[in-house]
Amino acid sequence: MSSLSCQFGRVGALSARRCLPSTGKRLLMRAMIMASALAVAVRGQRVHPSAPKWCPHLMASAGSSAHHDLLEYCGYLVKAHSMGLEKSAIVVDVGTDQGTEALTSRGFGHPVITFECRGSQAQRLLRSPWFNNDTGLRLVHACVTDHAGLGSLHRAVDSSSMLESSIQNPGAAWKANRERRAGEGIEPVPVMRLDSALDARSFEALGWSGLAGRRIGFLKLDVQGVEKTVLRGAVETLRRHRPFIAFEYTLLPESDRNGTTLINEVLRNAFHGGGHRRVHYSCECGRNDCFCHAPWA
């Protein structure tokens, strides 16, 4: 099991807490967890000017495709609320990108932990005027997977992936070529398991000791084809907290595109046919995404 240890430092012009993942044997490589968050942007210009009444905290996003994706995410969050998700529950956002899902979740009142692989993007988000001293959001510079250590991120701007084959499709290949020409084809990155990143010691390092033990209520995955790997590193979180899950499946192998089968297979394999029986996920999958839930008592 890993934990997070912290020291104080500066990132650009911002004070930040540097948190380093570690294990008892100190085999876990450095990751920077940036204690940061949005300004109360839900009252400012970052809220989309035509946000629907059912999603009043919808953040502004760049382009119609991103706007559609964010509307879909907000719909999943609203549906989770109708199914019993409390606003005090923690949202875990794996794949920060522009931060719009994290900020939209904060608008609903959820504490949010968000993970961003790309170091430059994590730094850029910290310099954004929308990220300052809200104690309800934490940005973690690390990739999430099923082990701890150091990994390789295959760069392709917003389509970057831990899986090289994911950046070879036509929609991502031109982005990857641009990164290679800039000398940034592969980026060494710290990698973490969600089960470790969400344990009590990590919450203490984040300055969130008071939230340790609170329900992890919603898990959003945007990880460009490594969703199954992320879930394998989160089996205890799924078993204990049974979060609602939203993820895109288009880069997964055909055999893994049924969300119900995917999640329950991960749980069955992890617990060797035992404790997984107490948790059974059901998923509703659309053209690109799945929304999944398990009974919570």
Q: For position 90, what pLDDT does the model report?
A: 98
| Of the candidates 215, 231, 151, the residue with the CA atom closest to the CA atom of residue 189 | 151
On whether residue 181 sits in a domain, the answer given is no
pLDDT at 80 over 90: yes
**What is the number of structural domains in the chain?**
1
Are 149 and 138 a contacting pair, CB within 8 Å?
Answer: no
On whether residue 101 sits in a domain, the answer given is yes
On whether residue 188 sits in a domain, the answer given is no
Assessment of whether the complete model's pTM goes beyond 0.85: no
pLDDT (tens digit, 9 = 90+) per residue, 181-215? 666 788 999 999 999 999 999 999 989 999 998 99
CA angle 141, 147, 149 (to 5 degrees): 55
On whether residue 157 sits in a domain, the answer given is no
pLDDT (tens digit, 9 = 90+) per residue, 251-278? 888 889 899 999 999 999 998 755 555 7
On whether residue 130 sits in a domain, the answer given is yes
The CATH number of the domain where 122 resides is what? 3.40.50.150
Q: Whole domain around residue 224: which residue ranges?
A: 2-147+193-293
On whether residue 169 sits in a domain, the answer given is no
Alpha carbons 249 and 1: distance in angstroms, whole number: 29
